């Protein structure tokens, strides 16, 4: 793997940083993207990125993209994540896997309807995958889509639907054939979130942030033309989409680098018992260890992007990067809490909170990193089977 960036790639990074400094000099927390305070900003940023051709830069030109390379996309995502820029994915997955999934499996009508609106920053998405009792074992989902004339009638419940309260559309995983093995009876269906019968209830996480929801479908009628690809082939389409999602974990080391930089600046400026924290050997050691972990996570992420750029198919490599990045973020938040001491428990809004309460909130928010997007346990199984050739347990 060649870890050097070309002059063109470095120029793109500089352009992105200049854009961020002009449009969003102070950044925000990505977990707050769907909050009432940040939501208007996320919408405005999405439109500005669309105007620059960056929002869907890696898409083919025929669908509103620039045909950017996977390395250029990784650079873009890294800079956006470091600065906490909202609105870059048109909800959850709109740009980074809903659009590509439609390019792979959608019909021409679906492509004409949805892709231009995503590329213009106009249509926001969520994904209706997880359910109570169907998370890691997603094939156990029970939401039904029953054919009725020209429609499907959908009944069921989805859980942990990020951004569902802001989304215009949803990619729904539903069971269309209950009489076959569970992997073979699923379909993906595009659902307008304004359709009658959809009920959304907020789920506020431990960090007091509302970006998750539970979504109920009660007799929701969806036109059959919204079926993605072939009926009962949803498992294979969903697997392809999730591989795209997990290949975007460059955001983990980027967020880690941002937190590390803030902690380093904090210990340089803070004294305890008449001595700068930066002179404490324990503090120095902990931050040095974290610098190593952040850099390893970044290299693992760029390895995935490099493999894609060479036409290779990273599989277990994606799982390695996802696990390492998730656990690195949790470790970093724990180190931050140790350095800040009792002050780290103060949340945003307290005038006494070090670093504006960011570390304490991340300590709570990062608990979910090893769960969302595929649990660490499942990822380790993938590494064991596909990477090491070990048998299924």
Q: Are residues 300 and 262 in the same domain?
A: yes
Q: Do residues 282 and 353 both lie within one domain?
A: yes
In this structure, the answer to whether residues 179 and 267 fall within a common structural domain is no
Domain assignment present for 368: yes
Mean pLDDT in order along the chain per 10 residues (393 residues): 86 96 75 87 95 96 93 95 94 93 96 97 96 89 97 97 97 96 94 98 91 97 97 89 68 96 97 93 98 97 92 90 96 98 93 94 94 90 95 83
Asked if 328 and 374 sit in the same domain, the reply is yes
Q: Give this prediction's pTM.
A: 0.93
Give per-residue pLDDT as tens, 206-253: 888 899 999 999 999 999 999 999 999 999 998 877 666 655 679 999
Is residue 1 in a domain? no
Tell which of 231, 258, 282 closes a domain. 231
Residues 317, 275 share a domain: yes
208 found inside a domain: yes
Judgement on whether residues 263 and 348 belong to the same structural domain of the protein: yes
Domain shared by 211 and 148, yes or no = yes
Residue 114 lies in a domain: no
Query: Could you tell me if residue 350 is inside a domain?
Result: yes
- From 33, 61, 88, the end of a domain falls on 88
- Residue 110 resides in a domain: no
Catalytic residue set: 245
Q: What is the pLDDT of residue 136?
A: 83
Out of 198, 231, 264, a domain closes at 231
Structure tokens given for 267 = 């210990």
CATH number at residue 291: 1.20.140.10
Cβ proximity of 45 and 86 under 8 Å: yes
Report the C-alpha gap between 98 and 104 in whole angstroms: 10
Range of the domain at 308: 249-387
- If one counts the domains in the chain, the total is 3
Buried residues in 64-91 as b, exposed as e (16+ CB within 10 A): bbbebbbbbbbbbbbbbbbbbbbbbbbb
Question: Does residue 309 share a domain with residue 342?
Answer: yes
Instruction: Give the pLDDT confidence score for residue 30 in this predicted structure.
Output: 64
Q: 13 and 71 in one domain?
A: yes
CATH number assigned to the domain comprising residue 227: 2.40.110.10
Cα separation, 17 vs 293, whole angstroms: 24
The predicted structure's pLDDT at residue 2: 66
Residues 309 and 356 placed together within one structural domain of the fold: yes
CA nearest to 364, candidates 250, 214, 207: 207
CATH assignment at residue 41: 1.10.540.10
pLDDT at 248: 63
Within-domain flag for 32: yes
Say if residue 226 is in the same domain as residue 259. no
317 in any annotated domain: yes
Cα dihedral 348, 349, 354, 360, rounded to 10, equals: -20
Secondary structure of the chain in the HEC alphabet? CCCCCCHHHHHHHHHHHHHHHHHCCCCCCHHHCCCCCCHHHHHHHHHHHHHHCCCCCCCCHHHCCCCCCHHHHHHHHHHHHHCCCCCCCCECCHHHHHHHHHHHHCCHHHHHHHHHHHHCCCCCEEEECCECCECCCHHHCCCEEEEECCEEEEEEEECCCCCCCCCCEEEEEEECCCCCCHHHCEEEEEEECCCCCEEEEEEECCCCCEEEEEEEEEEEEEEHHHECCCCCCHHHHHHHHHHHHHCCCCHHHHHHHHHHHHHHHHHHHCEECCEEHHHCHHHHHHHHHHHHHHHHHHHHHHHHHHHHHCCCCCCHHHHHHHHHHHHHHHHHHHHHHHHHHHHHHCCCCCCCCHHHHHHHHHHHHHHHHHCCCCCHHHHHHHHHHHHCCCCCC
The pLDDT assigned to 244 comes to 67
Examine the domain organization and report whether 60 and 12 are in the same domain.
Answer: yes
């Amino acid at each position: 793997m060649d870890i050097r960036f070309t002059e063109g790639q470095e120029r793109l990074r500089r352009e992105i940083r200049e854009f961020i400094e002009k449009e969003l000099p102070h950044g925000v927390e990505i977990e707050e993207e769907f909050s009432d305070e940040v939501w208007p900003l996320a919408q405005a940023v999405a439109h500005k990125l669309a105007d620059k051709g960056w929002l869907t830069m890696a898409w083919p030109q025929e669908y509103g993209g620039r045909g950017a390379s996977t390395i250029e996309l990784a650079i873009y995502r890294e800079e956006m994540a470091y600065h906490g820029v909202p609105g870059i994915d048109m909800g959850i997955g709109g740009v980074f896997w809903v659009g590509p999934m439609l390019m792979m499996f959608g019909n021409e009508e679906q492509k004409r309807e949805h892709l231009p609106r995503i590329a213009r920053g106009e249509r926001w998405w969520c994904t209706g995958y997880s359910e109570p009792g169907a998370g890691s074992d997603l094939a156990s989902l029970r939401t039904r889509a029953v054919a009725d004339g020209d429609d499907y009638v959908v009944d069921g419940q989805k859980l942990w639907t990020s951004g569902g309260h802001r989304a215009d559309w949803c990619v729904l995983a539903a069971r269309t054939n209950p009489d076959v093995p569970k992997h073979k009876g699923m379909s993906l269906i595009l659902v307008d979130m304004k359709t009658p019968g959809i009920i959304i209830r907020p789920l506020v996480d431990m960090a007091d942030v509302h970006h998750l929801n539970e979504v109920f479908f009660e007799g929701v009628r969806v036109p059959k033309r919204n079926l993605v690809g072939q009926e009962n082939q949803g498992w294979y389409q969903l697997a392809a989409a999730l591989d795209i999602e997990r290949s975007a974990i460059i955001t983990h080391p980027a967020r880690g680098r941002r937190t590390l930089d803030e902690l380093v600046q904090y210990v340089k400026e803070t004294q305890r018992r008449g001595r700068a924290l930066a002179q404490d050997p324990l503090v120095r050691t902990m931050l040095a260890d974290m610098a190593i972990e952040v850099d390893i996570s970044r290299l693992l992420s760029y390895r995935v992007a490099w493999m894609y750029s060479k036409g290779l198919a990273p599989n277990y490599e994606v799982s390695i990067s996802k696990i390492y990045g998730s656990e690195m973020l949790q470790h970093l938040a724990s180190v931050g809490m140790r350095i800040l001491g009792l002050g780290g428990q103060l949340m945003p809004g307290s005038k006494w909170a070090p670093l504006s309460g960011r570390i304490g909130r991340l300590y709570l928010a990062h608990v979910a990193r090893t769960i969302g997007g595929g649990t660490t346990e499942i990822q380790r199984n993938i590494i064991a089977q596909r990477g090491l050739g070990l048998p299924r347990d």
